[in-house]
């Protein structure tokens, strides 16, 4: 055990964490509650969600202009008898929040009480939103809880391949720097990943030997490539890897587990919603984070088997999100896990609805079709970009055994997938740019979405 880990366990999560005051002590209590609640039967889980939802609805129709207008128009009730009754309310989109953010702020919150947050802008449309300190505390507790599902224990070292430089400014004060050190966490910034940065990460992580390594799927795969290429057997992480923020395919999971020799846990969250779902050690799907969210799955028109994820943040009173469309989708129904936890499960999130491709005749092409094909090719990473005129460019970072025959094979297959209806070309690159927050999106479409954004809801925004 390193000195930093010893201090983290005895000071930060020991003496300070057991005191009845402060953020760390509150977080420990919240995490303990999450662990107790995870074994409650589904009937009790839903009853608690219903109680929280009705408290939220009553608050929103009184204090939030947008929801007050929806209530006045008969589009939102201040009380529901069952969770499913919420489905009659209009959905909320990111664009609505971007256009009229003030309409979603509660008017009974003191000035400067809310904390500002910003989405990663992965859809090309960044969002600034606000949360209460209580909600921020529960978000932190949810992250700790999800890490514990993957083997983390209080004070263990944790590392992440995550974010970009604007996401992680250095702590400005001595107190904050000390707290950052005692938290026993490091972040390896991945706004650009190449051999030089991978070498630096490996050196840093080999010394730290984190218990859990959390990262974007693409960043973890790039690390796998570097380790295999340089014939390095990593001594980290000690227990597990957590893949998040990007779709995880079965072959990617197999590669990570082969290279690192540790199990992979899939996780799904967003900046707007915090932790949404996380995998346990049974690996039978991702458990929904029912303590903080109510999640609906809405079938997508024209998309076979796909369901859009819609979330309601049950504990957020400052800038409430009711029936918020994340833009992500899953395949299949909500299920259960043999582990015995009461929270239901969803299958792995397969991509963003806005990132699926459309043909000029309106036909839908699931991003999964491109991901499955390109995941099997001799490429290190890839991105499929569809312009507003429907043309498609496939950007590839090839491996050493990529050749002209490989290129023709991919072009022919993609031409078949797109039915030859759009111009299509391959561009070989040394590196594919990430989004502002450091993510690599495998499929990006700039064709306007065909999803209706609820004209009645927009009218409510204008009225508010």
The pLDDT tens digits for 63-79 are: 999 999 999 999 999 99
The per-residue pLDDT for 192 is 64
Tens digits of residue pLDDT in 239-285: 999 999 888 888 899 999 999 999 999 999 988 889 999 999 999 99
The average pLDDT across 386-398 equals 92
Mean predicted confidence (pLDDT) in 357-382: 78
Least confident of 132-141, 146-155, 413-422: 413-422
Mean pLDDT value across residues 110-132: 77
Whole-number Å distance between alpha carbons of 83 and 388: 39
The DSSP bridge pattern shows strands 424-428 and 392-398 to be parallel
> End of a domain among 346, 365, 388?
346
pLDDT at 310 over 50: yes
One domain, residues 185 and 294: yes
Chain segment 124-149, per-residue pLDDT in tens: 456 789 999 999 999 999 999 999 99
User: Is residue 267 situated within a structural domain?
Assistant: yes
Q: Assess if residue 400 is contained within a domain.
A: yes
pLDDT score at 132:
95
Taking the CA atoms of 233, 237, 240 and 244 in sequence, report the sign of the dihedral they define: negative
Domain boundary among 328, 346, 364: 346
Domain extent at residue 377: 354-445
Q: Which pLDDT belongs to residue 208?
A: 95
Give pLDDT, residue 453.
Answer: 41
What would the mean pLDDT of 292-321 be, rounded to a whole number?
Answer: 85
Pairwise pLDDT comparison (387 vs 180), residue with the higher score? 387
195 and 212 fall within a common domain: yes
Read off the pLDDT band of 295 (50, 70, 90): very high
- Tell me whether residue 458 is in a domain: no
- The pair of structure tokens assigned to 136 is 């921020």
How many folded domains does the chain comprise? 2
Q: Which of 321, 346, 371 is the last residue of a domain?
A: 346
Instruction: Tell me the average pLDDT of the chain.
Output: 87
Is 379 found in the same domain as 325? Answer: no
Residue 438 has pLDDT above 70, yes or no: no
- Residue 404: give its domain's CATH number: 3.30.300.30
Whole-number pLDDT of residue 124: 45
CB 395 within 8 A of CB 383: yes
Residue 459 has a pLDDT of 53
Q: Are strands 286-288 and 306-313 parallel, antiparallel or unpaired?
A: unpaired
- Whether the per-residue pLDDT at 462 is higher than 60: the answer is no
The listed range with the strongest mean pLDDT (287-291, 433-437, 459-463) is 287-291
**Residues 409 and 284 reside in one and the same domain:** no
Q: Are 301 and 377 found together in one domain?
A: no
Do 175 and 276 lie in one domain? The reply is yes
Beta carbons within 8 Å of 150's beta carbon, 6+ residues apart: 212, 239, 240, 242, 265, 278, 279, 281
23-29: Cβ within 8 A, 24+ apart: 23/137, 23/140, 26/137, 27/137, 27/140, 27/141, 27/144, 28/154
- What pLDDT sits at residue 454? 44
Residue 432 lies in a domain: yes
Whether residues 431 and 286 share a domain: the answer is no
pLDDT at position 19 is 76
Quick one: pLDDT at residue 123? 45
The pLDDT confidence band at residue 451, using thresholds 50, 70 and 90, is: very low
Give the mean pLDDT of 348-370. 71
Same domain flag for 176 and 305: yes
More confident residue, 140 or 434: 140
Q: What is the pLDDT of residue 235?
A: 97
- Is there a single domain that holds both residue 261 and residue 406? no
pLDDT at position 125, please? 53
Give the Cα separation of 368 and 373 in Å (integer): 8
According to the model, what pLDDT value does residue 169 have? 61
Same-domain pairing of 315 and 439: no
Q: Indicate which CATH number applies to the domain containing 316.
A: 3.40.50.12780
* Closest of 445, 461, 452 to residue 386, by C-alpha: 445
- The token pair at 55 is 């408290």
- Collect all residues with Cβ–Cβ distance below 8 Å to 371 and sequence separation of at least 6: 247, 249, 350, 351, 442, 443
Q: What is the pLDDT of residue 449?
A: 58
Residues 173 and 232 in one domain: yes
Nearest CA to 93 among 129, 65, 63?
Answer: 129
Residue 456 belongs to some domain of the structure: no
Let me know whether 381 and 263 are in one domain: no
Q: Is residue 464 part of a domain?
A: no
198, part of any domain = yes
Task: Note whether residue 33 is domain-resident.
Answer: yes
Tell me the pLDDT band of 42, cut-offs 50, 70 and 90.
Answer: very high
Peptide bond into 254 cis (omega under 30): no
Give tens-digit pLDDT for 173-224: 888 788 888 899 998 887 667 788 889 999 999 999 999 999 988 889 889 9
Q: In what order do the strands lie in the sheet with 293-299?
A: 293-299, 306-313, 324-331, 351-352
């Amino acid at each position: 055990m390193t000195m930093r880990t010893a201090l983290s366990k005895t000071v930060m999560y020991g003496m300070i964490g057991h005191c009845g005051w402060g953020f760390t002590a509150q977080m420990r209590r919240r995490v303990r509650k999450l662990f107790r609640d995870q074994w409650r039967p589904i009937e009790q889980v839903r009853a608690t969600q219903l109680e929280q939802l009705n408290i939220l609805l009553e608050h929103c129709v009184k204090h939030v202009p947008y929801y007050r207008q929806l209530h006045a128009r008969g589009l939102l009730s201040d009380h529901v008898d069952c969770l499913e009754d919420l489905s009659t309310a209009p959905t909320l989109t990111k664009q609505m929040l971007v256009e009229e953010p003030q309409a979603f702020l509660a008017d009974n919150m003191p000035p400067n009480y809310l904390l500002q947050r910003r989405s990663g802008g992965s859809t090309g449309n960044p969002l600034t939103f606000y949360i209460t300190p209580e909600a921020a505390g529960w978000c932190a507790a949810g992250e700790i809880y999800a890490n514990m599902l993957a083997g983390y224990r209080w004070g263990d070292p944790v590392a992440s391949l995550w974010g970009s430089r604007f996401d992680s400014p250095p702590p400005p004060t001595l107190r904050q720097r000390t707290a950052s050190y005692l938290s026993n966490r490091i972040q390896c910034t991945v706004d650009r990943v190449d051999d030089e940065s991978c070498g630096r990460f490996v050196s840093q992580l080999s010394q730290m030997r984190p218990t859990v390594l959390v990262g974007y799927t693409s960043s973890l795969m790039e690390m796998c490539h570097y380790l295999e290429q340089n014939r390095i057997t990593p001594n980290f992480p000690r227990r597990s890897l957590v893949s998040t923020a990007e779709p995880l395919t079965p072959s990617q999971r197999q590669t990570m587990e082969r290279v690192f020799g540790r199990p992979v846990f899939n996780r799904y969250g967003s900046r707007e919603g915090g932790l949404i779902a996380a995998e346990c050690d049974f690996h039978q799907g991702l458990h929904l984070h029912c303590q903080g969210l109510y999640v609906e799955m809405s079938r997508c028109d024209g998309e076979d088997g796909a369901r859009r994820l819609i979330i309601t943040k049950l504990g957020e009173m400052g800038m409430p999100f009711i029936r918020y469309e994340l833009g992500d989708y899953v395949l299949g129904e909500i299920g259960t896990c043999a582990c015995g936890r009461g929270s239901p499960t969803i299958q792995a999130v397969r991509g963003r609805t806005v990132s699926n491709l459309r043909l000029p005749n309106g036909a839908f092409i699931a991003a999964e079709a491109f991901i499955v094909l390109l995941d099997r090719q001799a490429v290190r990473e890839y991105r499929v970009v569809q312009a507003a005129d429907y043309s498609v460019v496939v950007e590839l970072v090839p491996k050493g055994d990529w050749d002209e025959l490989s290129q023709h094979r991919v072009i022919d297959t993609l031409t078949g997938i797109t039915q030859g209806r759009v111009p299509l070309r391959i561009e070989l690159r040394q590196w594919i740019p990430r989004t502002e927050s450091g993510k690599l999106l495998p499929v990006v479409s700039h064709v306007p979405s065909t999803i209706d954004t609820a004209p009645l809801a927009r009218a409510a925004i204008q009225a508010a």
